[in-house]
Structure 1
Amino acid sequence: MKWIYIAVGIALYIKMLVFPNPAIDSAELAIVESIVQDSGVPNAVSGIIFRNRLYDTIFEVVVFTTAIMGAKFLLANEQPSQTVYQFTDHPSIVLARLGATIAALVGIELAIRGHLSPGGGFAAGVAGGTAIGLVAITSSSTWMEAIYQRWQAATWEKVSVLVFIVLAVLTLVGIELPQGQLGRLFSGGWIPVLNILVAVKVALGSWAAILIFIRYRGLL
């Protein structure tokens, strides 16, 4: 089997050397520029997700919420796991928590500036969820659960979804904030706010999923 992988890798390398890069059509560039001007943000992907295809994005957020609720429902009748597998050696704990710190900082950056550079709410939420997961595999599950309850993360998750839906509906009916100057932090109308709301929702939803699988499966 490894020879097949090697052959595929060589073929892919030859393809990159032999075949030239496809030329970018000027019409495609015009479409991107049109999206940037219409949305008011340099990141055309964020403009598409939170403006041109906002109707789809609403249901993507709802589907993620439904998935978390479904996991809670399906595992509610099971007995919690008696054994939780996690890192116990000191070097692994230090590296995991260092990685969690970096992932959390990256998540905050992507959430705040996702409309100006590559990134956005979904990527920021994944980075935040990664940070929470790295902390979870090096910390007590009881401690993680206590923090989750203390900060009422489940409530904030639901609030972020509801606020996102309300702002999305306002955008769809044409009620928007001023776009501001292109390239500035406070620009793009509702898009920066929607980015942050999605980041909060995905990160907190990931936290809930992590706690569920730790409680009932003993692992991530």
Structure 2
Amino acid sequence: MKWVYIAAGIALFVKMLLIPNPALNVSDTSIVELVVQDSGVPNAVSGIIFRNRLYDTIFEVVVFTISILGAYFLLANEKPSTNIYQFTDQPSIVLARLGATIAALVSIELAIRGHLSPGGGFAAGVAGGTAIGLVAITSPSEWMQEIYKRWHFATWEKVSILIFIGLAVITLSGLELPHGELGALVSGGVIPLLNILVAAKVALGSWAVILLFIRYRGLL
């Protein structure tokens, strides 16, 4: 069997050396301009992620969900940490909460306007998770756990991914919302909604993982 693998490797190497790649026949319009025209959003990256390669993005969101479930599974049999150390000096607490406020505002900006400027759902979710992490190192874990359960954020996380997959399937089937005026806040069809859903999913998933690791492994 190994000779089959060797022969396949040699054939692939010969193909790369001797057979040229076909030239892409495009007009004078750049690829970025074509993506912008096709998606209806100035941020071509968002257009590619949530339209041209939306099929890949669906599975990226699913993989993130599976990783959260994996964290629950791996830590299910461990005992909760008895010592959870947090910042106690006032300057560190003030700086951490100031950073959390800034990160939260950035997260909202990236989620709402990610289709118009650099940003998007994944970046917004990371910024939101950063804000939650900064609050976690300065607040009691029981308080954060209580808020997480009181507002049913675990349910909202699952609802967000289900809505995302539903909208993505509808888009892949060929049905799209009107693009609207290029550069307007309400434009790009379903892309702004997908941005917000991904941001909510990533931020809430990060919150769940942060609480999980603090409970079983401590903060530091």
Where on the TM-score scale, by shorter chain, does this alignment land: which range?
0.7 to 0.9
State the distance in 2 between where 1:157 and 1:28 align: 44
Q: Identity over aligned residues, as a percent?
A: 80
Q: Gapped runs of 5+ residues in structure 1?
A: 1-25
RMSD, aligned CA: 1.3
Question: How far off is 1:218 after superposition?
Answer: 0.3
1:107 aligned residue: 107
One-letter code aligned to 1:127: A
Superposed CA deviations along residues 145-191 of structure 1, whole A, max 9, x for unmatched, are 00000011100000000000000000000111100000000000000
2:136 aligned residue: 136
Change (3 A) 1:30 1:93: same
The 5 A counterparts of 1:72-151 are 72-151=72-151
Question: How far off is 1:28 after superposition?
Answer: 9.3
Question: How far off is 1:219 after superposition?
Answer: 1.7
State the distance in 2 between where 1:214 and 1:132 align: 12
Question: How far off is 1:27 after superposition?
Answer: 7.5
One-letter code aligned to 1:158: K
Question: How far off is 1:29 after superposition?
Answer: 6.5
Q: Secondary structure at the match of 1:203?
A: helix
Instruction: Give the ranges of 4+ consecutive aligned residues of structure 1 lying more than 4 Å apart after TM superposition.
Output: 26-29
Q: Gapped runs of 5+ residues in structure 2?
A: 1-25
State the distance in 1 between where 2:175 and 2:100 align: 38
Question: How far off is 1:210 after superposition?
Answer: 0.2
Change (3 A) 1:128 1:28: farther
Q: Secondary structure at the match of 1:178?
A: coil
2:161 aligned residue: 161
State the distance in 1 between where 2:27 and 2:83 align: 58
State the distance in 2 between where 1:122 and 1:29 align: 29
Larger radius of gyration: 2
1:51 aligned residue: 51
Superposed CA deviations along residues 125-151 of structure 1, whole A, max 9, x for unmatched, are 000000000000000000010000001
Question: How far off is 1:45 after superposition?
Answer: 0.2
Q: Number of residues paired by the alignment?
A: 195
1:19 aligned residue: none
Superposed CA deviations along residues 47-90 of structure 1, whole A, max 9, x for unmatched, are 00000000000000000000001100110110000011211100
